[in-house]
Amino acid sequence: MRGCEIVEIKDNLKRNFFRNFFYLIIGKIVPIEPLHLDLEKFERVFILSQIWAGNIPFLMRSFLFKNKDALINKEVVFVSSSRFGERNKSFVIKLNKIPGNLVKKALFIKENNVSSGRYKESLENFLNSL
């Protein structure tokens, strides 16, 4: 895509399975590293994230909370790959409870379609529909 910037959301937490799972279940907001990016200059923001046990990963939740004011007037597009693919469509409802109906469009791709390359047509159709 022309004119896009890619940013990884990071934290400085010491991670282990139990801490990650606990933060996921309780909806913990964690400190994240500054983005060094002005979200105001973009009309559209793509969020690419996993879905963990049907929940929003705590890094993504923290990003949305921290940046909800900057994202409120943007076209926010969510793309995710998971074992359940399209069966995760209701996840957008959970996602929109955080910052307030930000996500306008979403694409859910099954993991096995990514590894086999079968995702390409659905991704291309999705991007062309934007």
Supply the pLDDT for residue 60.
85
Of the pLDDT bands very low, low, confident and very high (cuts 50, 70, 90), residue 57 is confident
Supply the pLDDT for residue 86.
66
Q: Name the pTM for this structure.
A: 0.79
The strand pairing partners of 75, in sequence order, are 44
Burial status of residue 63 (CB atoms within 10 A of its CB: 0-12, 13-18, 19 or more) = buried
Chain-wide mean pLDDT for the chain?
82
Q: In 1-130, where do the E strands start and end?
A: 44-48, 75-82, 103-110
How far is it, in rounded angstroms, from Cα 76 to Cα 59? 17
Supply the pLDDT for residue 54.
75
Residue 19 has pLDDT above 80, yes or no: yes
Q: Which CATH number fits domain 42-128: 3.40.50.360, 3.40.50.9100, 3.40.50.300, 3.40.50.2300?
A: 3.40.50.360
Residue 87 has pLDDT above 70, yes or no: no
Domain ranges (residues) in the chain: 42-128
